[in-house]
Amino acid sequence: MGWMADETGLGRNAANFVPLTPLSFLARAGDVFADQTAVVYRGTRRTYAEYRARVSRLASALTARGVQPGDVVATLLPNIPAQAEAHFGIPAAGAVLNTINTRLDTDTIAYIFGHGQAKIALVDTALLPLAEAAIAEMDGPGPEIIEVADREAGFAPSGRYTEYEALLKQGDPDAPWIMPQDEWESLSLNYTSGTTGRPKGVVYHHRGAYLLAMGTAVTWAVGIRPVYLTIVPLFHCNGWCHTWMLPAVGGTLVCCRDVTAKNIYDAIADEGVTHMGGAPIVLNSIINAKDADRRPFDHVVEVYTAGAPPPAATLAAIEPLGFRVTQVYGLTETYGHVTECLWHGRWDGLAQAERASIKARTGVLMPFMEDITVHDETGNPVPRDGKTVGEIAIRGNSVMKGYYKNPEATAEAFKGGFFRSGDIAFQHEDGYIKITDRAKDIIISGGENVSSVEVEGALMHHPAVSLCSVVAKPDDKWGEVPCAFVELKEGRTADEAELIAFARERLAGFKTPKRVVFCELPKTSTGKVQKFELRARAKEL
């Protein structure tokens, strides 16, 4: 250890140690980017000076309302400016931000309100019925509701609650913030959208959010003054922490309440969006946009995509439209992305299919992370041979503190000194990780492992297929067989036999789906297909 012979007087003091927190970014930006546009939403444009002042108002008003450091304050909001302000204003009151997924059911929201013990909840007018129903289901009193009336989107306040803007008026635009005294203090609480059982409350600290934000700015090369469009919901891993990152670089946050192809094209053309994130399903909606919704633009938009590997067909279609797609990977437990499919110049000359196959890799360690390796069952790294699968194990500073009030699940997740992701992958010779499946999504057919992702990739090449998802269907002979659920493109047709034959040309027999069902796929709020739902349907077939 690097302690010198004499370390007298060399300890921490007020001048040389400041706990890391994303709050520092906005404190600085309010000064050095004072006149720069910080937040854009429809007719609203606010500078960094205004943004910081509103955050100060929010923090001081929450304190005046009885919020104490360490208390939880929830939000049930779309990606509107109040949601961004909550990312700074709630922590600036020393409180913990609990962004709740707006598409959850009443019962789950009641559970989250109760488990997290939110004292106050900022709720969009459109979501009041949901919040009210959830609170009615609770045993205790539930959080006090502050209503965020999004007049720009046509929502008039209900009149039943204190309004967000009225709350801000009670606050002090120059109030000092309660900064963390320890960077390990809790910053936010994000409930996983668990597919079975109760969601778990993932706790983030100030340090992790700071480091992920800085490291992302570095490796995504966002430059100074990027323009970021909020497609990823801020209730999902706090929007991959981008809202916290932007003030560090004087960037502009363009809020998007409704994610439609038209809104995306408009934001790019009108606001000069340079960066955005989104699941592959969002990329497909851009590709398949109606002509009337498209807008011309002459710069390249950088896109982080996550949630599933971008299908080759998607990449081939979107890149000529002016988007550069980089796959990233992470989980709620890692504050968002922790790997990136870093591109090398030596791949520039490859054919489109080969380029797409590289872009479909999960990627390599991001610079703020320490170690991401595929482990076998004994906790040793698998060989880098492009085929041996194991579980992705993650170690670094943007791994969660743990699950709130669930030390058993926390200990289980951290067994062996790594966060165990539950995702199954192999490593290429050059170290690039490639996810083959979530552990629970693997199909075991006749003793062979079938990657549902591989089967989906094959079907996505069919010109009529817009989206598909493959799950295990119980089978008397093989144990399980692949079963595909497919959405077709508007105006296109295909039948089951045709798609099975198409897949068989590209896949081994045991990997070829035995059934194809045409239907709209059930999706989570973040665009992920809900495979647990499809597995249930496949069982019934």
Name which of residues 362 to 421 contact a second copy (CB under 8 A).
Answer: 364-365, 367-368, 370, 394-397, 399-407, 410-411, 414, 417-419
**Measured between alpha carbons, how far is residue 463 from residues 293, 467, 523 in Å?**
22, 11, 22
| In the complex, least distance from residue 433 CB atom to a second copy, rounded to whole angstroms | 11
214 vs 389 by CB, closer to a second copy: 214
If one asks whether residue 192 binds a second copy (CB under 8 A), the answer comes out as no
Q: Are strands 118-124 and 144-148 parallel, antiparallel or unpaired?
A: parallel
Find the binding residues for a second copy in span 35-54 (CB under 8 A): 35-36
Q: Are strands 336-340 and 448-450 parallel, antiparallel or unpaired?
A: unpaired
382 vs 450 by CB, closer to a second copy: 382
The 8-class DSSP code of residue 430 comes to T
If one asks whether residue 25 binds a second copy (CB under 8 A), the answer comes out as yes
E-only strand ranges, 314-357 = 323-331, 336-340
Scanning 165-173, 218-226, 319-327, 349-357 for contacts with a second copy by CB under 8 A, the matching segment is: 218-226
Closest CA to 517 of 491, 492, 482, 480: 482
Q: Which residues contact 104 (CB under 8 A, 6 or more apart)?
A: 112, 193, 525
| In the complex, least distance from residue 370 CB atom to a second copy, rounded to whole angstroms | 4
If one asks whether residue 203 binds a second copy (CB under 8 A), the answer comes out as yes
| Residue from 67, 96, 424, 460 in contact with a second copy (CB under 8 A) | 96
| In the complex, least distance from residue 276 CB atom to a second copy, rounded to whole angstroms | 19
Q: What distance, in Å, lies between the first and last C-alpha atoms of the chain? A: 62
Find the binding residues for a second copy in span 114-173 (CB under 8 A): 117
Number of residues located near a second copy, criterion CB under 8 A: 87
Secondary structure (3-state) at 40: strand
252 vs 469 by CB, closer to a second copy: 252
10 vs 536 by CB, closer to a second copy: 10
> 410, exposed or middle or buried, with CB in 10 Å at 0-12, 13-18, 19+?
middle
115 vs 462 by CB, closer to a second copy: 115
218 vs 439 by CB, closer to a second copy: 218
If one asks whether residue 523 binds a second copy (CB under 8 A), the answer comes out as no
Find the binding residues for a second copy in span 227-246 (CB under 8 A): none
Secondary structure (3-state) at 74: strand
Largest pairwise CA distance in the chain: 78
Find the binding residues for a second copy in span 454-513 (CB under 8 A): none
18 vs 501 by CB, closer to a second copy: 18
CA 3 to chain centre: 40
**Measured between alpha carbons, how far is residue 264 from residues 297, 364, 437 in Å?**
12, 29, 30
